[in-house]
């Protein structure tokens, strides 16, 4: 039992990693033995990421003494460690990151040690002779094996060799996995799945396929194999099995002229005809990769424009990869002759490296021309400025580059498992656009013997001081946030006398966070993320061996979300105005968009980034230089699944899991929310239901009837005596099982029998159950284990919701442990009554004509009667003892029955449709919408983000800013100039008219519509060429203006006519928890109905009209009459009739924002007047080509934000 609990805890801890890497890779890492040589910044970053990824055995070798400058990149070296061996200092601190791993300090770097390893990583030194020797040793390792016959043999067993060199703003990584290395999964993506549409009967059978609902419509990889399953028909042994489902996977082949979404298989002429159904699933074909030695690759690294290694990393196409390679070889030659690295900013040393690089380039040219087929040596013309810049800082390790290197290198260790595509030899990176231009004075770059020496040697001491005095806002302190806190502390960001870092994160630490949020330890579980992260950086305390990263980091933490609810406190306008910049570390789009919008309002730079498994992105956003985050486009959210697929026609297990998650809300969230709302507002709820039930609108009646019935059903359980309530919850769960898996399926089969045809307008379009539609089978309780698991989990969750049993406390892993078995389920089922099947309806959005049997009598009158009966019961219920709480779906608690329910529910659904079932872990990932997250990608991305921060602080132009993508799986590192500023200009748009309405002369000889007959519309922008960063700023004191004054100012100052103002005033949430935006009309000023003028509700409608005429309501007669009719239906006016709201025409702008916009302005300094609509007078399109003045009024569709200062 204890072992099972420990295993489940480990699975929870590594859940995000398993989602990205897969359990097989995670298992490999637990068994791997990794040696890291060198523990400066890149080394310790690699070690950290390896341990977080789950490497089971890590050896460290770096006996060099810690230096003060090491503290600028190594987060585990403190001031008290200077002079001590790096490996001995770091080992116990690294151990804390993964207590289950063995972390070992090697006494010597020898062949015995290296031979025992799976992978060896060198991160310190460029000694060519030593590196080549160790590489050859690793390549040549063998091992003795004994086959099943007992025969001994020796086989190659190379040790993976990785080498990384951080040289200022450049990075080189070399990888060698041996002469033969099997890559079993090149990209790590989920296997492609397609639906079979048809299979032809011919010599080369043509398979046509479709994309399942909810999956991206990408082309299947042509180098994979594809297996068939669930195909009906196609029986026979011609292709090697008893039928197509039993055949070995097929290669993806096609003939010229074949239709899209198809491929060929073998001879299908002797197979029985294809009858229907079927899935095609990708089987990834392993690839054998042949790596070349370090000695060979130093001469012939390949080219970024070919397929012979050296991935492209410089997307300016200036060939910096080759320049860095030449610089690296020159550096190695310098080290070989001088027995040291070049001194930073030493021009003579830089010239010596440059000279060696030129000699190397010339030798490569001779080698290429002297051999018959060319030696494929590096073909490069040395760019002196690049190589000289490389050489000046070749001995410098910059923390952002080391962080990036640690992410990439650790991922190469992961690739030793056979998953993902390794770097084939060298990969070179150059971030030279970050370099100060012009460089700081030499005196400003001189070393002072402190932790910032390396940083100052490139950017200057003045720049370091600027970093220290920044006032920055870090939004989020999860995986990205932890890395940012570390990076800021090591680089001195916000560590100066005027510096300040504010961290906001409302979340608490969970066990699954520990594999990628490296500032947290197991004793931090349950604590605030923001506070724990700040403490680890500045004052870790006695429960960890880690030293402070930087005691001077000045941090203020807020356990709060950043959004409208925290604008009054703590994130006021004054707070935002005082910032120098914002760094996002978020994982949801809503929060990203809010921060982006606020940065636009206050014109603050924003560092945006994100990760998804092995992929990541970096987006620097700078006022008046780049696009905003929202303008850059939304992150991919995945394909939507049509509702009819989820409701009636699932064909993938993902559809069943999504459906089960929806049923969770239907059973345990929505009814409970309705009850809580009713308990807080019983009279208004009853009045609203009464009004709708008495409406003449059938839709209103039916929806109100359904709401009333559902509300009563929930309250019937909630108000039952406590001793009966749990059994009622069990019965409701039992009823739900039969409703979901028996009744709904029976309804569908009644409407569409197995032989049903699709009939449209009387025409037969073929069999209904074809393509992605699987014919279902209704369930009978007791057939399989998922059914009793459904009953157990549903009973427990519903009982907690309804107060029928104690609610689970956080951290209680023994909750209801004796009631999680089949015996308990049998006792529950025995006490329940099987509900009778009552035919119901099917969805109206199913294609074709619905069978009449599917539509029983369910008239409006019946619905109204049922609703009124439920309303009567609701009006007399005693609410005083109601104890109801909605179940807040929690994916990270494995003992609260939530994921148990989703798993069982999805599998019961899957069995209805003969879909292979899911397991607990997959259900958890899918239903919990868990984002695959790993430490390597996080580290790599945050290192790149910091480089963008350095550029922003230097006020670099947009052409030096980089929008980057990180693809660790396939070594894909594109970078582009940051997205250009989006400006809005007036333009004319021509729209093709409806041809039917045009005269004969509108068409040319080809039958096309002539351009002069196109409809021309003008899209007006004001001011011309503005961006979202631009503002139309109202003058001081305008908060006290009335709308008329605003209108006059817009006209006088900008020639704009205010036509409307609909002010956004928040969101409303309906009873199902859905949100929608609402706005208030400000201009033209609406006239409010004075309820005091409404006549008696006892009058007839004609009498009421006469009474209103006497009240002199004038043109508002129909509005008053409508309100009178509404209250007459309700039966009474409100007890306390409020005075009518004042007209917006008489309000000041401040009052309008407070009253209509529902804003609290006491803490506000600036407000954007959203919802303004204006028009402008300008020349019409028809007057452009004439001399006659012809002006028209045009709506301004792109109006710059109007800013009001308070």
Taking the alpha carbons of 695, 699, 701, 703 in that order, is the dihedral positive or negative? negative
Tokens at residue 244, please? 């197509």
DSSP H or E segment with residue 61? strand 57-61
Helix ranges, 499-582 (H): 529-538, 573-577
Over residues 210-248, the pLDDT tens digits come to 999 888 888 899 889 999 998 989 998 888 878 899 899
Q: Which of 197, 254, 189, 190 is nearest to 222 (CA)?
A: 254
In the prediction, which pLDDT does 850 show? 45
- Judged against a pLDDT cut of 60, whether residue 1120 lies above it is answered with yes
Rounded to an integer, the average pLDDT of 1089-1109 is 84
In the prediction, which pLDDT does 849 show? 47
Contact 1051, 1196 (CB under 8 A): no
Rounded to an integer, the average pLDDT of 585-612 is 93
Beta-carbon contacts of residue 1048 (< 8 Å; ≥ 6 apart): none
In the prediction, which pLDDT does 907 show? 96
Distance CA 1007, CA 434 (A): 57
- Judged against a pLDDT cut of 70, whether residue 735 lies above it is answered with yes
Distance CA 1048, CA 1058 (A): 9
Over residues 984-1014, the pLDDT tens digits come to 999 888 888 888 888 888 888 888 888 888 8
In the prediction, which pLDDT does 1 show? 44
- Judged against a pLDDT cut of 80, whether residue 40 lies above it is answered with yes
Taking the alpha carbons of 91, 93, 98, 99 in that order, is the dihedral positive or negative? positive
Distance CA 36, CA 58 (A): 8
In the prediction, which pLDDT does 1138 show? 65
Q: What is the number of other CB atoms lying within 10 angstroms of the CB of residue 222?
A: 10
Rounded to an integer, the average pLDDT of 776-801 is 95
DSSP letter for 1142, please: P
- Judged against a pLDDT cut of 80, whether residue 12 lies above it is answered with no
DSSP letter for 284, please: P
Distance CA 550, CA 537 (A): 6
Over residues 829-857, the pLDDT tens digits come to 999 999 999 988 776 555 554 444 444 44
Higher pLDDT, 239 or 8: 239
Over residues 346-382, the pLDDT tens digits come to 999 999 999 999 999 999 999 988 876 767 899 999 9
Higher pLDDT, 141 or 1119: 141
Q: What is the number of other CB atoms lying within 10 angstroms of the CB of residue 274?
A: 21
Q: Which of 1119, 1126, 1125 is nearest to 1089 (CA)?
A: 1119
- Judged against a pLDDT cut of 50, whether residue 637 lies above it is answered with no
Distance CA 617, CA 721 (A): 56
Over residues 1065-1096, the pLDDT tens digits come to 877 655 445 566 778 889 998 877 777 888 88
Distance CA 96, CA 92 (A): 7
For 445-454, b/e burial (b = at least 16 CB within 10 A) is: bebeeebbbb
Question: Which residues face 1203 on adjacent strands?
Answer: 1033, 1168
Q: C-alpha distances in angstroms, 440 versus 446, 460, 629, 784? A: 10, 6, 32, 74
Distance CA 383, CA 387 (A): 6
Indicate the SS3 state at residue 170: strand
Rounded to an integer, the average pLDDT of 794-806 is 95
Structure confidence at residue 536 as a pLDDT band (50, 70, 90) = very high
Q: Which of 827, 904, 931, 929 is nearest to 667 (CA)?
A: 904
What is the set of active-site residues?
A: 644
Higher pLDDT, 394 or 1113: 394
Over residues 1019-1072, the pLDDT tens digits come to 899 999 999 999 999 999 999 999 999 999 999 999 999 999 999 987 765 544
Rounded to an integer, the average pLDDT of 549-563 is 95
In the prediction, which pLDDT does 897 show? 95
Q: What is the number of other CB atoms lying within 10 angstroms of the CB of residue 208?
A: 17
- CA trace torsion 594, 595, 596, 597 (10° rounding): 50
Average pLDDT, the chain: 89
Structure confidence at residue 798 as a pLDDT band (50, 70, 90) = very high
């Amino acid at each position: 039992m204890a072992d099972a609990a420990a295993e489940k805890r480990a699975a929870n801890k590594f859940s995000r990693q398993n989602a990205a890497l897969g359990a097989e890779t995670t298992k490999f890492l637990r068994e791997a033995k990794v040696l890291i040589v060198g523990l400066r910044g890149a080394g310790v970053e690699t070690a950290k990421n390896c341990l977080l990824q789950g490497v089971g055995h890590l050896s460290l070798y770096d006996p060099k003494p810690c230096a003060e400058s090491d503290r600028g990149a190594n987060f585990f070296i403190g001031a008290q460690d200077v002079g001590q061996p790096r490996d001995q200092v770091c080992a116990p601190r690294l151990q804390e990151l993964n207590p289950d791993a063995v972390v070992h300090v090697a006494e010597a770097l020898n062949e015995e040690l290296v031979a025992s390893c799976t992978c060896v990583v060198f991160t310190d030194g460029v000694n060519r002779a030593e590196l080549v020797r160790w590489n050859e040793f690793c390549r040549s390792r063998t091992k003795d094996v004994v086959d099943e016959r007992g025969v001994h043999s020796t086989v190659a067993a190379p040790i993976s060799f990785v080498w990384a060199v951080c040289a200022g703003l450049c990075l080189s990584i070399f990888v060698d996995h041996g002469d033969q290395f099997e890559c079993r999964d090149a990209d790590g993506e989920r296997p492609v799945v397609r639906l079979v549409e048809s299979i032809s009967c011919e010599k080369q059978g043509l398979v046509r396929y479709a994309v399942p609902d909810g999956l991206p419509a990408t082309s299947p990889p042509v180098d994979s194999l594809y297996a068939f399953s669930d195909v009906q028909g196609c029986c026979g042994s011609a292709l090697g099995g008893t039928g197509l489902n039993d055949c070995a996977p097929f290669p993806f082949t096609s003939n010229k002229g074949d239709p899209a979404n198809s491929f060929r298989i073998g001879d299908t002429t002797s197979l029985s005809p294809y009858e229907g159904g079927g899935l095609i699933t990708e089987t990834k074909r392993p690839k054998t990769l042949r790596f070349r030695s370090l000695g060979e690759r130093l001469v012939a690294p390949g080219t970024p424009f070919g397929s012979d290694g050296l991935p492209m990393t410089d997307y300016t196409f200036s060939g910096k990869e080759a320049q860095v390679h030449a610089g690296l070889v020159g550096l190695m030659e310098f080290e070989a002759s001088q027995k040291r690295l070049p001194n930073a900013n030493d021009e003579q040393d830089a010239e010596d490296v440059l000279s060696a690089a030129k000699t190397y380039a010339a030798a490569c040219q001779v080698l290429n021309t002297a051999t018959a087929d060319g030696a494929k040596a590096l073909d490069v013309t040395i760019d002196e400025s690049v190589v000289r810049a490389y050489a000046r800082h070749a001995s410098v390790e910059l923390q952002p580059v080391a962080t990036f290197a640690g992410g990439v290198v650790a991922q190469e260790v992961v690739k030793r498992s056979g998953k993902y595509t390794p770097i084939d030899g060298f990969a070179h990176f150059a971030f030279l656009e970050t370099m100060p231009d012009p460089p700081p004075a030499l005196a400003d770059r001189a070393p002072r013997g402190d932790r910032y020496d390396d940083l100052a040697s490139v950017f200057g001491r003045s720049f370091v001081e600027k970093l220290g005095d920044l006032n920055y806002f870090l939004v989020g302190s999860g995986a990205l946030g932890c890395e940012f806190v570390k990076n800021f502390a090591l680089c001195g960001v916000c560590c100066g006398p005027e510096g300040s870092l504010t961290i906001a994160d409302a979340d608490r630490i969970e066990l699954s966070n520990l594999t990628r949020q490296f500032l947290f330890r197991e004793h931090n579980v349950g604590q605030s993320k923001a506070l724990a992260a700040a403490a680890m950086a500045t004052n870790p305390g006695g429960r960890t061996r880690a030293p402070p990263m930087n005691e001077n980091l000045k941090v203020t933490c807020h356990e709060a979300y950043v959004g409208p609810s925290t604008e009054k406190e703590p994130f006021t306008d004054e707070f935002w105005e005082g910032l120098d910049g914002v760094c996002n570390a978020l994982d949801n789009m809503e929060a990203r968009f809010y921060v982006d919008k606020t940065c636009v309002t206050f014109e603050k730079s924003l560092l945006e980034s994100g990760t998804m498994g092995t992929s990541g992105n970096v987006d620097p956003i700078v006022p008046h230089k780049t696009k905003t985050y929202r303008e850059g486009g939304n992150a991919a959210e995945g394909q939507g699944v049509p509702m009819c697929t989820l409701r009636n026609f699932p064909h993938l297990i993902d559809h069943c899991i999504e459906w089960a998650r929806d049923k969770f809300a239907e059973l345990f969230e929505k009814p409970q929310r309705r009850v809580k709302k009713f308990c807080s507002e019983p009279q208004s709820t009853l009045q609203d239901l009464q009004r709708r039930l008495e409406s003449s609108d059938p839709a209103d009646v039916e929806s109100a009837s359904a709401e009333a019935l559902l509300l009563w059903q929930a309250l019937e359980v909630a108000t039952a005596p406590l001793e009966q309530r749990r059994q009622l919850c069990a019965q409701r769960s039992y009823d739900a099982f039969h409703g979901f898996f028996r009744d709904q399926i029976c309804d569908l089969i009644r409407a569409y029998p197995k032989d049903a045809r699709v009939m449209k307008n009387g025409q037969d379009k073929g069999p209904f159950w074809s393509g992605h539609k699987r014919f279902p089978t209704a369930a009978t309780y007791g057939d399989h284990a998922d059914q009793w698991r459904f009953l157990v989990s549903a009973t427990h969750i519903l009982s907690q919701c309804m107060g029928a049993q104690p609610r689970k406390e956080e951290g209680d892993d023994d909750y209801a442990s004796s009631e999680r078995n089949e015996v308990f389920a049998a006792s529950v089922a025995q006490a329940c009554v099987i509900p009778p099947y009552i035919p119901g309806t099917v969805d109206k959005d199913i294609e074709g004509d619905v069978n009449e049997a599917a539509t029983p009598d369910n008239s409006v009158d019946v619905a109204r009667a049922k609703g009124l009966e439920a309303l009567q019961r609701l009006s007399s219920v005693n609410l005083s003892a109601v104890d109801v709480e909605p179940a807040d779906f929690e994916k990270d608690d494995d003992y609260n029955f939530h994921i148990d329910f989703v798993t069982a529910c999805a599998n019961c659904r899957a069995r209805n449709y003969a879909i292979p079932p899911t397991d607990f872990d997959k259900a958890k990932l899918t239903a919990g919408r868990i984002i695959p997250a790993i430490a390597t990608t996080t580290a790599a991305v945050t290192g790149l983000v910091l480089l963008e921060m350095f550029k922003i602080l230097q006020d670099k132009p947009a052409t030096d800013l980089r929008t980057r993508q990180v693809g660790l799986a396939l070594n894909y590192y594109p970078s582009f100039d940051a997205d250009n500023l989006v400006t809005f200009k007036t333009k004319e748009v021509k729209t093709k008219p409806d041809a039917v309405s045009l005269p004969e002369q509108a068409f040319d000889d080809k039958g096309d519509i002539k351009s002069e007959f196109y409809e021309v519309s003008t899209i007006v922008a004001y001011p011309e060429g503005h961006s979202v960063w631009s503002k139309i700023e109202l003058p001081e004191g305008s908060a006290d203006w009335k709308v008329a004054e605003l209108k006059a100012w817009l006209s006088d100052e900008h020639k704009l006519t205010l036509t409307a103002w609909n002010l956004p005033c928040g969101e409303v949430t309906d009873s199902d928890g859905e949100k929608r935006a609402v706005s208030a009309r400000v201009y033209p000023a609406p006239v409010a109905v004075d309820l005091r003028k409404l006549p008696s509700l006892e009058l007839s409608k004609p009498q009421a009209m006469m009474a209103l005429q006497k009240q002199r309501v004038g043109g508002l007669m129909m509005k008053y009459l409508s309100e009178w009719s509404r209250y007459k239906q309700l039966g009474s006016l409100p007890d306390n009739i409020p005075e009518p709201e004042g007209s917006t025409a008489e309000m000041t702008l401040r009052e309008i924002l407070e009253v209509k916009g529902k804003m609290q302005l006491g803490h506000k300094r600036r407000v954007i007047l959203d919802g303004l609509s204006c028009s402008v007078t300008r020349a019409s399109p028809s007057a452009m080509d004439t001399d006659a003045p012809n002006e028209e009024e045009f709506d301004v569709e792109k109006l710059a934000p109007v800013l009001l200062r308070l």
